[in-house]
């Protein structure tokens, strides 16, 4: 175990969870072209795209999109600014250290399932303001409101981030409409849940790791929100657990494409018609990697439960209702420390039987 000495024990995974990068099957996932859906807004014209989305959500819960409407120059400018930010001295970055459980600002000690992730992150909310419960205690109804924190350098960072999220958010809204249609619902059925959204962008930076088979950039997890719109650079490292056989599949980067995945909330809304798959980010020995998820999340007070249209005698409700803000607060609290208990999961709200 000499090699493990190069990696701080906080990052070490149990042997059963260590990645085997060389053996992962590389796959592009279903690729969906959104050009038609973005240019012809009437539902009749959307049927082909909607059926592709239905198949991808059922079979994988993960897919890639191209011709998605996000301007590549906006994305490039934003990614360049992000790289400059992460290149700052750590003391500079830590001035923006995230406080309490708010996912806003800089962070470099996140844990997934109690093992430290080999990464640093910068989070900002899409609206500039994040309102979530002050604690995960169900009896505490206090709320906290936080605004985004911005670094002085690079000077264009704030504007590049804001411009980027404006475009990504439009894509997320469109995807939620298409997913609603794919579930047999009206395009606007889910719109109201996002009125006071708790969405945020996370910029993940994974430095090279001397022992990439002993640690992970992000450990296996499912995303807690409704839908994730993820940009990754050309290094690669995202792996998805394939529904069909439980194999870890390496997701091939598509230049300028986005990876879309179903989150826990959409799983529950769809009454498990769609599932949020486990995924993780593996590390690279030589290269840094950047990935940028946009987590599209509803208002904190949303009670998440299967949509009534998707419950029937044949398909009874599979989940008990839960409060999104409390779930989010619990996740955020436990991600910041190493604990000896499992963090909150939607399985805890599953109806028995
Ligand atoms: O780095 C990646 O590709 C995935 C990151 C991720 O899953 C997350 O931040 O939730
Ligand atoms: Fe994720």
Question: Are 294 and 172 contacting, i.e. CB atoms less than 8 angstroms apart?
Answer: yes
Specify if 30 maps to a domain: no
Ligand 1 neighbourhood includes 334 CB (under 6 angstroms): no
- Within 8 A by CB and 6+ apart from 280, the residues are 19, 216, 217, 218, 219, 220, 221, 238, 239, 248
CA distances from 143 to 15, 33, 125, 158, 228 (A): 41, 41, 16, 26, 25
CA distance 277 to 70: 25
Specify if 37 maps to a domain: no
Mean pLDDT (the chain, rounded): 90
Q: What is the CA radius of gyration of the chain?
A: 20
Specify if 21 maps to a domain: no
Total domains, the chain: 1
Specify if 211 maps to a domain: yes
CA distance 291 to 219: 14
Relative to the CA of 291, which ligand 1 atom is closest?
Answer: 1
Domain that holds residue 260: 52-349
Among all ligands shown, which has an atom nearest to the Cα of 291? Answer: 1
For 277-298, the pLDDT digits (tens) are 999 999 999 999 999 999 999 9
CA distance 57 to 276: 9
For 4-58, the pLDDT digits (tens) are 567 888 888 888 888 875 556 777 689 999 998 998 656 557 899 999 999 999 9
| ipTM over cut 0.95 | yes
Specify if 198 maps to a domain: yes
Specify if 262 maps to a domain: yes
For 309-334, the pLDDT digits (tens) are 999 999 999 999 999 999 999 888 77
Mutate to test the pocket of ligand 1, among 64, 277, 281, 288 (most ligand atoms within 8 A of CB): 281
For 189-228, the pLDDT digits (tens) are 999 999 999 999 999 999 998 888 888 898 889 999 999 9
SS3 for 143?
A: strand
Closest protein CA for atom 10 of ligand 1: 223
Say whether pLDDT at 2 is over 50.
Answer: no
Ligand 1 neighbourhood includes 52 CB (under 6 angstroms): no
Q: 270: which 2 tokens? A: 């769809």
What angle in degrees, to the nearest 10, is found between the helix axes of 157-182 and 72-86?
Answer: 130
Question: How many angstroms is it from 201 CA to the middle of ligand 2?
Answer: 12
Relative to the CA of 228, which ligand 1 atom is closest?
Answer: 10
- Within 8 A by CB and 6+ apart from 268, the residues are 304, 305, 306, 318, 319, 346, 349
DSSP code of residue 346: G
CATH code, domain with 168: 2.60.120.330
Specify if 212 maps to a domain: yes
Question: Are 58 and 186 contacting, i.e. CB atoms less than 8 angstroms apart?
Answer: no
Specify if 65 maps to a domain: yes
Relative to the CA of 279, which ligand 1 atom is closest?
Answer: 7
In the chain, how long is the greatest CA-to-CA distance?
62
Residue 325 CA from chain centroid, whole number: 16
Question: How many angstroms is it from 113 CA to the middle of ligand 1?
Answer: 14
Cis check: omega of the bond before 56, within 30 degrees of 0: no
Binned at pLDDT 50, 70 and 90, residue 338 comes out as low
Query: How confident is the model at residue 324, as a pLDDT?
Result: 97
């Amino acid at each position: 175990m000499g090699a493990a000495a190069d990696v701080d024990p906080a990052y070490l995974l149990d042997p059963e969870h260590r990645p085997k990068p060389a053996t992962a099957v590389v796959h592009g996932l279903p690729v969906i072209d959104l050009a038609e859906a973005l240019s012809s807004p009437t539902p009749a014209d959307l049927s082909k795209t909607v059926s592709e989305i239905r198949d991808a959500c059922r079979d994988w819960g993960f897919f890639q999109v191209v011709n998605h409407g996000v301007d590549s120059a906006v994305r490039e400018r934003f990614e360049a600014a992000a790289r400059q930010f992460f290149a700052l001295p750590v003391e500079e970055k830590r001035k923006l250290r995230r406080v309490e459980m708010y996912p806003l600002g800089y962070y470099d000690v996140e844990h997934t399932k109690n093992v430290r992730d080999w990464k640093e992150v910068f989070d900002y909310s899409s609206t500039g303001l994040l309102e979530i419960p002050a604690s995960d205690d169900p009896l505490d109804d206090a709320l906290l409101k936080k605004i985004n924190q911005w670094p002085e350098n690079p000077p264009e960072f704030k504007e590049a981030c804001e411009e980027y999220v404006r475009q990504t958010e439009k894509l997320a809204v469109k995807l939620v409409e298409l997913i609603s249609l794919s579930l047999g619902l009206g395009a606007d059925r889910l719109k109201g849940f996002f009125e006071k959204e708790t969405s945020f962008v996370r910029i993940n930076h994974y430095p090279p790791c001397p022992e990439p088979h002993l640690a992970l950039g992000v450990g296996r997890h499912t995303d807690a929100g409704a839908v994730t719109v993820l940009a990754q650079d050309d290094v690669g490292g995202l792996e998805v657990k394939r529904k069909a056989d439980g194999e870890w599949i390496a997701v091939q980067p598509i230049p300028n494409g986005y990876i879309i995945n179903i989150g826990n909330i959409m799983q529950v809304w769809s009454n498990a018609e769609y599932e949020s798959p486990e995924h993780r980010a593996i590390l690279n020995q030589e290269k840094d990697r950047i990935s940028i998820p946009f987590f599209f999340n509803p208002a904190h007070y949303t009670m998440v439960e299967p949509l009534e249209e998707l419950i029937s005698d044949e398909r009874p409700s599979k989940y008990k209702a839960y409060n999104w803000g409390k779930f989010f607060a619990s996740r955020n609290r436990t991600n910041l420390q190493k604990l000896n208990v499992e963090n909150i999961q939607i399985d805890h709200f599953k109806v028995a039987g």
